[in-house]
Structure 1
């Protein structure tokens, strides 16, 4: 392999600015747009590769250690190394352990995507369908993921000859060691793209908005994430799609709240209806429900309607609709109404206010309803 310093026409102790000026001069002279000859194209690739190595301080240091007749001259023996990591890389090469690895693939898996889905409480009783607009990466229709302009194709890299790696013999304390590093000309792919697709700029994919249709099951709750395999972004060069995750958010309802698979609600009952009992119709999330209020119902009592709750995420047996009773005491009475209440009190001879045995159920029946609401 040609010496990088000779290719650029600079001394081995050339400064970074001198190396940059030499490269610019040769690049202008040998660029294919200026000099279409085959020899010029080959030299242009060598010049570019030489500059990639010598313009990087770490790569240049490692290259110099194998290029000088005495790599330790003036270095004070082993102290001339830049640390243990440099010693390891010098002896064994990069991640390849001194062996030429396979070239990288341009096709990679796309990234996963996360979309928030806002639902109403009624949507989760039986599940719902959504058509979601997602901004994501899709396959380039012009090149179909090839990354090349139509009618062209990738070409084998002239520097690494398709291996994706460049090997070099380095003289070290252990003798001559062959090191292998990714080719800087093709970035380790083993091929180059002379004419990248103009639509996707050689990426094989473009940003676009697409519609994803999804059936959201019953019983989901806020914070749950649903995975749609293969519905995420398409990968570079038409690689496989990532996954799409739907993060569920269920909005609070004005009337109903949720406890597990049960629905909770509060029914306000007037004092006469609480005393005499009544029948009423309430509007549940899935239609009307006939409800019987028995005579003498108390605040805190819970009326249960079986099977009118939420269908569970895993299973088919719906939860219940639990309605907590709240007896409303009138605050404004006219003279006649007050007289009737007083007559009622005299007839019933009800005891006055007094402390009674603590009744846990009176406070606990609706506590969970307000806590979860």
Structure 2
């Protein structure tokens, strides 16, 4: 089981964004590779801290994590996990200020003389899923148009910033000498410029290509949830890090079933005769059709609970239930003979309402449904 993100950073669930940032900075400095050369355990802790910070520093991701745990971001390469060193240094280098050599991470492009590496832009797509897909999990193959470095394109070190990606200027002011660093306008911060452009590429040596991406979607996802496929966004020029593919889940409505969290609801209509005599009915579930038994004397509004026939919990806590709502259908049009029959039954004691203890009220049924 993965370690809790709050425990990794040593903060409470009520910690502010400033406290989370401060805790991450402390952990990352403690386990930074420059301070722990060759220490694989420290490197692992360094990655864990970055993974935790990536989620807890983002309000949307933090809300999903608080609700669904690690499962909100996992399943075939999704989520906050799987960060490598390039990801960490690219995204969070500015947090460290002068902690390492006056500009962040030594040897990884944010100070210490290393070459700056930029990350390509993310791509966003929306995937429509049926209720059956959500219940069982599904592998999707999606065609994505992404920017890639064109074949034959080569790069060289930017002469303006000497590969740093930043231009440093020193100014004399009334307060003394002030040093500022800005993104290099020549290379856009990558530290690289095009040396030779491949055929059909743009000014940065990039071209758009269509690629089929395999996406493994875990069971139990919810509408609006966003999953991440690392490294399947746009590539960055000059050997930078590829962006990510962000996959937004859209749940399509089902003709018969209504979702309520992990539970499903089904409206079953039966006739007076079936309610009085009993019957069996075939109904839809997300795993196929099942036949259920309607006992003689079943009252309208009765709820039949089919255990574990709902949606699997994304946290791995089993599955929800299928709640079948029995509705006795009252005919609107009666023949002369039918009217005469019901007229005779008006005074029949078997047709007089006589609710028993097991015939719960509407409010009791609602209470049971949500218990």
TM category (shorter chain) comes to: 0.5 to 0.7
Aligned residues: 260
In the other structure, the counterpart of 2:248 is: 247
In the other structure, the counterpart of 2:294 is: 293
Deviation string for 1:294-332 (max 9, x for gaps)? 122112110111221112212162221110011111121
Specify the SS of the correspondent of 2:250.
strand
Task: Supply the distance in 1 between the matched residues of 2:282 and 2:189 (Cα, whole angstroms).
Answer: 73
Task: Supply the distance in 2 between the matched residues of 1:304 and 1:137 (Cα, whole angstroms).
Answer: 51
Aligned 8 A contact 1:104 1:164 in 2: no
Task: Supply the distance in 2 between the matched residues of 1:277 and 1:254 (Cα, whole angstroms).
Answer: 26
In the other structure, the counterpart of 1:220 is: 221
| Residue 342 in structure 1 maps to residue 343 in structure 2 | yes
Aligned 8 A contact 1:103 1:162 in 2: no
Aligned 8 A contact 1:106 1:237 in 2: no
Task: Supply the distance in 2 between the matched residues of 1:352 and 1:335 (Cα, whole angstroms).
Answer: 24
| Residue 280 in structure 1 maps to residue 281 in structure 2 | yes
Q: CA RMSD in A?
A: 4.1
Give the direction of change, closer, same or farther, for the CA distance of 1:167–1:252 in structure 2 (3 Å limit). closer
1:119-138, aligned counterparts within 5 Å?
119-138=129-148
TM-score, normalization by structure 1: 0.57
TM-score, normalization by structure 2: 0.58
Specify the SS of the correspondent of 2:348.
helix
Point out where structure 1 has 5 or more consecutive residues left out of the alignment. Answer: 1-94, 148-153, 354-358
Deviation string for 1:157-185 (max 9, x for gaps)? 4x88888889999888799x798988887
Task: Supply the distance in 1 between the matched residues of 2:317 and 2:281 (Cα, whole angstroms).
Answer: 28
Give the direction of change, closer, same or farther, for the CA distance of 1:291–1:103 in structure 2 (3 Å limit). same
Aligned 8 A contact 1:205 1:238 in 2: no
In the other structure, the counterpart of 1:111 is: 121
Aligned 8 A contact 1:104 1:188 in 2: no
In the other structure, the counterpart of 1:362 is: 362
Task: Supply the distance in 2 between the matched residues of 1:229 and 1:361 (Cα, whole angstroms).
Answer: 52
Task: Supply the distance in 1 between the matched residues of 2:179 and 2:256 (Cα, whole angstroms).
Answer: 72
Give the direction of change, closer, same or farther, for the CA distance of 1:347–1:211 in structure 2 (3 Å limit). same
> Which protein shows a greater Rg?
1
Aligned 8 A contact 2:125 2:245 in 1: yes
In the other structure, the counterpart of 1:73 is: none
Deviation string for 1:208-260 (max 9, x for gaps)? 22111111111111111111122221112231111211110101112101112
How many angstroms does 1:349 deviate by? 6.7
Specify the SS of the correspondent of 2:238.
helix
Point out where structure 2 has 5 or more consecutive residues left out of the alignment. Answer: 1-101, 104-110
In the other structure, the counterpart of 2:323 is: 322
Give the direction of change, closer, same or farther, for the CA distance of 1:275–1:109 in structure 2 (3 Å limit). same
Aligned 8 A contact 2:115 2:163 in 1: no
Aligned 8 A contact 2:120 2:234 in 1: yes
Task: Supply the distance in 2 between the matched residues of 1:347 and 1:249 (Cα, whole angstroms).
Answer: 54
| Residue 257 in structure 1 maps to residue 267 in structure 2 | no
1:73-88, aligned counterparts within 5 Å?
none
Give the direction of change, closer, same or farther, for the CA distance of 1:105–1:334 in structure 2 (3 Å limit). same
Give the direction of change, closer, same or farther, for the CA distance of 1:276–1:225 in structure 2 (3 Å limit). same
Task: Supply the distance in 2 between the matched residues of 1:341 and 1:333 (Cα, whole angstroms).
Answer: 10
Specify the SS of the correspondent of 1:234.
coil
How many angstroms does 1:189 deviate by? 7.5
